[in-house]
Amino acid sequence: MKQHVPLIVGNWKMNPATVGAAKKLFLAIRKALGRKRLNVHIAVAPPFPFLSELERLSPSQRISLAAQDVFFEAIGAHTGEVSLPMLKSVGVTAVIVGHSERRARGESDHEIYEDVSTLFKSNVTGIICVGENERDDSGNFYSVVEAQLRSALRGVPKTKLKQLVIAYEPVWAIGTGAVATPEDVHEMKLFIQKILTDHFGRAGAEKVRVIYGGSVKKKNAAALLEEGQVDGFLIGGASLKAKEFVSIINIAHEYEKTSV
Ligand code: PEP
């Protein structure tokens, strides 16, 4: 049985180039959503400098604002970093932590744990990204995901599980067009839930959303939801095209409506 209303998050990464283009994209998404009531939680994660402008365009909070990262300290001499109080002050309600593009630039499991620890002292949703660089025949990728997950979960108190989201994002599928099969995604979801159960008990694990990211498009979204059994998506490339992004949101809405 499904536990959660689907969550669809657009990760804009370092796009688009200007605040004007960001506003245009945001408004195009809003327009494509129309007025229909959708049973889907929607968020977009634009680059930091655009957050406060976009906050003004979303007075109803129909589209929540997420950040692509956070630094664990609140204030002080940390050149180039952005803190949680700063993000909250511009309307951010969710933060992506440990994205593979940041891990590839040297972000360690320990740093991710520190960011997670700070985040889960607040009421902000934490989207923790995990995923293997490559798949091998002997299943070693499971231990990669397990190590990333266990390290980050040390920073999450049992009382905050409703605001925890795990994004399974196999690195080989990000931005490549090589999407994981729904069967592989389902197996990994079960594996992640097993670790969550280990850590928080069954009732605790059931509160956590497990979403998928990696070349999600409107053509593969339904199968990933139905057979992959994930609770939503983290979407990069396709979230920069308003119509494609909203098509995926509508697919999630239909899925939520028809499944029990
Ligand atoms: C991502 O960056 O988190 C992502 C999933 O990207 P894409 O959808 O482009 O593969």
Instruction: Please work out whether the CB of residue 131 comes within 6 Å of at least one atom of ligand 1.
Output: no
- Is 209 domain-assigned? yes
Instruction: Please work out whether the CB of residue 11 comes within 6 Å of at least one atom of ligand 1.
Output: yes
Looking at ligand 1, which atom is closest to the CA of residue 216?
8
Asked whether the beta carbons of 217 and 238 are under 8 A apart, the reply is: yes
Tell me what the pLDDT averaged over the chain comes to.
95
Which residue's alpha carbon is at the smallest distance from atom 8 of ligand 1? Answer: 236
Q: Which of 213, 215, 212 is nearest to 177 (CA)?
A: 215
Query: How do residues 159-171 score in pLDDT, each as one tens digit?
Result: 999 999 999 999 9
pLDDT band, very low/low/confident/very high, at 1 (cuts 50, 70, 90) = low
Higher pLDDT, 35 or 230: 230
Distance 214 CA to ligand 1 centre (A): 5
Instruction: Please work out whether the CB of residue 236 comes within 6 Å of at least one atom of ligand 1.
Output: yes
- Residue found under tokens 């952005």: 82
Distance 20 CA to ligand 1 centre (A): 23
- Residue found under tokens 């697919």: 251
- CA separation for the pair 99, 6 (Å, rounded): 20
- Is 178 domain-assigned? yes
Looking at ligand 1, which atom is closest to the CA of residue 176?
10
Q: Which domain holds residue 236?
A: 7-258
Among the listed residues 4, 41, 101, 169, the single catalytic one is 169
- CA separation for the pair 231, 2 (Å, rounded): 8
Q: Looking at residue 2, what is its pLDDT? A: 66
How is 182-199 classified by DSSP, letter by letter? HHHHHHHHHHHHHHHHHH
Q: Which of 68, 100, 215 to mutate to test the pocket of ligand 1 (most atoms within 8 A of CB)?
A: 215
Mean pLDDT of 129-155: 94
Distance 203 CA to ligand 1 centre (A): 30
Q: Looking at residue 103, what is its pLDDT? A: 96
Q: Looking at residue 260, what is its pLDDT? A: 59
Instruction: Please work out whether the CB of residue 213 comes within 6 Å of at least one atom of ligand 1.
Output: yes
Q: Looking at residue 145, what is its pLDDT? A: 97
- CA separation for the pair 182, 38 (Å, rounded): 24
pTM of the model: 0.96
Q: Looking at residue 113, what is its pLDDT? A: 97
Which residue's alpha carbon is at the smallest distance from atom 4 of ligand 1? Answer: 236
Mean pLDDT of 51-56: 96
| Residue 240, domain CATH | 3.20.20.70
- Our count of domains for the chain comes to 1
- CA separation for the pair 96, 75 (Å, rounded): 20
- Is 2 domain-assigned? no
**Is residue 59's pLDDT more than 80?**
no
Whether 99 sits among the annotated catalytic residues: the reply is: yes
Which span out of 19-23, 57-61, 134-138, 175-179 was modeled with the highest average pLDDT?
A: 19-23
Instruction: Please work out whether the CB of residue 46 comes within 6 Å of at least one atom of ligand 1.
Output: no
Give 71's contacts (C-beta < 8 A, 6+ positions apart): 78, 81, 82, 83, 115
Q: Which of 156, 79, 97 is nearest to 122 (CA)?
A: 156
Q: Looking at residue 137, what is its pLDDT? A: 84
Among the listed residues 99, 132, 244, 253, the single catalytic one is 99
Percentage with pLDDT > 70 across the chain: 98
- Is 1 domain-assigned? no
Instruction: Please work out whether the CB of residue 237 comes within 6 Å of at least one atom of ligand 1.
Output: yes
pLDDT band, very low/low/confident/very high, at 87 (cuts 50, 70, 90) = very high
